[in-house]
């Protein structure tokens, strides 16, 4: 079931009705849990068993990790959780990938090995709910939070349908306490939630699917040589498509939860206005980047063990972050490029800090002497450069093979003269308009949020914008496409 479907509209209306009936809080939570299982089972009912297994194992293992005093037993329990969660993830998501690479290695070494091709179906959202349950058991191991008392609350924490399939990735302290006392949306929360839900669906249906997807698909799926204009239009189209698609899901998920009285963490903060790659990862898929920071980068040593280890830890984190997105070496290269740009950025910052060597008083004077208008212009140019480099990394993210990525990069930077155009003028203009408006919106909104902005507008301004989004959704071609991040 997807947010951009009439089935979900009916499903959500029923859930709102049940959640606002004069029932006990326990009954309402059971309703939410059953609804979450129905929501997930709409893809493939048998995979509910994996969800149950992960939930039950981590609930009891987490409690035992918190109470167990024997270090050997605590390590063993943690290993059980890691094997259970990562084992399922590796089998379903990376099983075919590992087998293909093993076969390729055997062939390189001279062994003629050709096993039967496995038929493994990827469960929807397995990467997201695996990280959700993993953070719980790791927190229990570190004793950073207390165990969830109720199996009902823990099950609802794992399977709560707004975030289940594509995030935001929630942690126990962010959601579990909200299940302990009755939650019911206020009038303002309901309006805000419906506004965010509408905005999210508008981003997905009207912008990602109907304005940009066809152009991106045509360019990345092209078999003939591409012109530079076509190549850049396709890459820019995908840059916009993946933002509107994924941020659209997160926005809709946060809105759905808010309509029920629950608050989910922010997942996007206008990332294409980022000034540098560190800033980009503070704005793009925030819950994943913070998860990787807290559960991978910092445990590896973070920046506490010298410059060399810092760079190594940073690259390992980004490579694993790339592989998390998909079982293909192109995703690893995508993560590696982000790691490389973070390296360069950090090296420049360290070099600048070492060269200036300002005292705290000198730093204050230097900062005060910067002309505001010059600083804004400098930051804007840095944001454009960051966006340009991010677009290059998207080539590897979207391409199925390195050959396809190389062909597209050649078309972008070294086009063949006389290549026949692939896209129509209307398609190119459409991409140019949407991407330009997107960048303007990101830059002007980079320090605020949708709800804060809506709160400052007159009621008729909000109503006008809301009506426009609804009209555009209904006028758009019927779209029931799954969200891009469902495959991750």
Q: Which two tokens stand for residue 146?
A: 């207390």
Indicate which residues carry an active-site annotation: 325
In angstroms, the Cα distances linking 156 to 30, 117, 182, 186, 195 are 8, 37, 14, 21, 25
Alpha-carbon distance of 7 to 10, in angstroms, equals 5
Q: Which two tokens stand for residue 318?
A: 């980004």
Nearest alpha-carbon partner for 35 in 4, 5, 11: 11
If residue 324 lies in a helix (H) or strand (E), which one and from where to where? Answer: helix 306-325
Nearest alpha-carbon partner for 339 in 296, 378, 299: 296
Let me know how long the chain is: 488
Alpha-carbon distance of 212 to 368, in angstroms, equals 43
Alpha-carbon distance of 2 to 219, in angstroms, equals 26
24 SS3 class: coil
Q: For 109-160, where are the alpha helices, taking DSSP H only? A: 126-142, 151-159
Alpha-carbon distance of 219 to 237, in angstroms, equals 9
Cβ neighbours of 207 (radius 10 Å):
22
Residues in contact with 67: Cβ distance below 8 Å, sequence separation at least 6, in sequence order: 147
Q: Which two tokens stand for residue 388?
A: 């340009």
Alpha-carbon distance of 300 to 293, in angstroms, equals 10
Q: Number of H helices and number of E strands within the chain? A: 22, 0
Alpha-carbon distance of 337 to 392, in angstroms, equals 9
If residue 398 lies in a helix (H) or strand (E), which one and from where to where? Answer: helix 372-398
């Amino acid at each position: 079931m997807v947010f951009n479907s009439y089935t979900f509209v009916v499903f959500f209306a029923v859930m709102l009705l049940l959640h606002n009936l004069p029932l006990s809080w326990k009954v309402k939570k059971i309703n939410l849990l059953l609804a979450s299982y129905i929501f997930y089972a709409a893809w493939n009912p048998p995979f509910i068993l994996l969800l149950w297994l992960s939930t039950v194992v981590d609930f009891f293992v987490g409690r035992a990790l918190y109470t167990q005093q024997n270090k050997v037993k605590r390590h063993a329990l943690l290993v059980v959780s890691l094997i259970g969660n990562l084992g399922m993830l590796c089998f379903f998501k990376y099983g075919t990938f590992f087998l293909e690479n093993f076969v390729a290695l055997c062939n390189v070494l001279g062994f003629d090995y050709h096993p039967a091709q496995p038929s493994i179906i990827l469960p929807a959202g397995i990467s997201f709910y695996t990280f959700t349950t993993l953070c719980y058991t790791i927190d229990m191991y570190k004793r950073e939070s207390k165990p969830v008392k109720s199996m009902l609350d823990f099950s609802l924490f794992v399977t709560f349908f707004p975030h289940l399939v594509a995030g935001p990735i929630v942690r126990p302290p962010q959601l579990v306490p909200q299940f302990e006392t009755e939650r019911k949306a206020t009038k303002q929360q309901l309006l805000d939630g419906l506004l965010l839900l509408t905005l999210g669906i508008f981003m997905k249906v009207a912008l990602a699917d109907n304005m940009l997807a066809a152009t991106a698909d045509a360019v990345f799926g092209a078999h003939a040589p591409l012109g530079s204009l076509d190549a850049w239009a396709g890459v820019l189209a995908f840059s916009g498509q993946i933002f509107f698609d994924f941020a659209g899901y997160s926005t809709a998920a946060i809105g759905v939860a808010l309509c029920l009285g629950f608050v989910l963490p922010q997942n996007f903060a206008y990332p294409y206005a980022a000034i540098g790659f560190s800033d980009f990862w503070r704005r793009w898929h925030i819950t994943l980047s913070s998860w990787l920071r807290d559960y991978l980068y910092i445990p590896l040593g973070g920046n506490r063990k010298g410059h060399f280890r810092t760079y190594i830890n940073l690259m390992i984190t980004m490579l694993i972050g790339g592989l998390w997105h998909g079982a293909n070496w192109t995703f690893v290269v995508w993560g590696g490029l982000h790691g490389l740009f973070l390296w360069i950025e950090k090296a420049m910052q360290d070099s600048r800090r070492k060269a200036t060597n300002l005292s705290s008083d000198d730093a204050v004077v230097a900062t005060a002497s910067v002309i505001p208008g010059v600083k804004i212009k400098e930051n804007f140019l840095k944001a454009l450069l960051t966006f340009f480099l991010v677009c290059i990394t998207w080539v590897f993210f979207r391409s199925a093979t390195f050959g396809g990525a190389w062909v597209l990069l050649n078309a972008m930077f070294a086009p063949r003269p006389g290549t026949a155009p692939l896209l129509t003028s209307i398609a190119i203009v459409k991409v140019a308009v949407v991407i330009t408006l997107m960048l303007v919106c990101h830059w002007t909104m980079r320090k605020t949020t949708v709800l804060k902005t809506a709160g400052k507008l007159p009621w008729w301004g909000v109503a006008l914008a809301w009506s426009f989004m609804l009209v555009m959704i209904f006028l758009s071609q019927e779209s029931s496409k799954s969200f891009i991040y469902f495959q991750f």
